[in-house]
Amino acid sequence: MAPTGEGPSEWLHGIHAVRAALKARRRRLWRLRVGRRATSPEIEELVEAARAQGLAIEEVAAGALGEGLETGTNPQGVALQAGPVPEFQLNELLATLQGASRHTLVALDGVEDPRNVGAILRVADAAGVAGILLTRRHAPPLTPAVARSSAGAVERVPVARVPNLVRALKQLKQSNFWIFGAVPRGGEGLYALSDRTLDGDRVLVLGAEGPGMRPAVEGEVDHRVQIPLRGEVMSLNVSTAAAVCLFEFLRRDHLAKS
């Protein structure tokens, strides 16, 4: 629980998640807990960062840090009490996009596993994605599990929560975004896409593993994109598919600038 009158809070665990939250300062932060005898340069760095922000520092039994975590999860000797990650409205997210460079957004349709969402956020951060779109239903809240899976990227990549993904994609098309949808078969080859096709702002839509995008969402897609596979595996994990597509987009952007 948060201190009285301070609103909801949660405990972030792990070096990367705690460091990212302290650095980003997007959340409300209350206190840092450190396990007794948990000493390392990384933890000392976090303690100093928390102290510089005026946070309470508490030393607790190592076992107390793991409360609420999945069995076998290592809190790495540190936990941070923080408010929820702030989320954007779509218009607010679009207002943050500046400059003439190409902007890439990712929209998730029915991806409900927090670990997959966290992994996609991590990939998105590495690939320079400008934001993630999640739906209000059939998408997880941005819990500590998402923060941990994202290695702290949830603190850096803006997330917009939309009530209706079809309407959101229509709005993005009106704002001159091209919509790309990842499909397991029947699409254009990712590496065969022309440079002209990838020129401009774009959204990569990823559906749930198995069912993929819903028909209404797929109906808004301008380009159905398929990752070429040479083995017997018919499809990739959604976070792996995100990485392949986003880094191909990034590669093309670098080539366009050279």
Instruction: Take residue 94 and report the two structure tokens written for it.
Output: 């679009």
SS3 62: helix
| pLDDT at position 100 | 65
Residue spans of the domains in the chain: they are 10-82, 90-257
- Predicted structure pTM score: 0.91
Least confident of 43-47, 218-222, 254-258: 254-258
pLDDT tens string 8-34: 889 999 999 999 999 999 999 999 999
Task: Name beta bridge partners: 35.
Answer: 60
Name which of 101, 150, 94, 99 is nearest 122 in CA terms: 150
**CATH number of this structure's domain 90-257, picked from the four choices 3.40.1280.10, 2.60.450.10, 3.40.50.10860, 3.30.70.920:** 3.40.1280.10
Whether residue 49 has pLDDT greater than 90: yes
Q: Stretch 160-176: mean pLDDT, rounded? A: 97
What per-residue confidence (pLDDT) applies to 210? 84
Does residue 4 have a pLDDT over 70?
no
pLDDT-based confidence at 3, cuts 50/70/90? very low
Taking residue 128's Cβ as centre, other Cβ atoms within 10 Å add up to 16
Q: Which CATH class is domain 10-82?
A: alpha beta
Residue with tokens 């993005």: 172
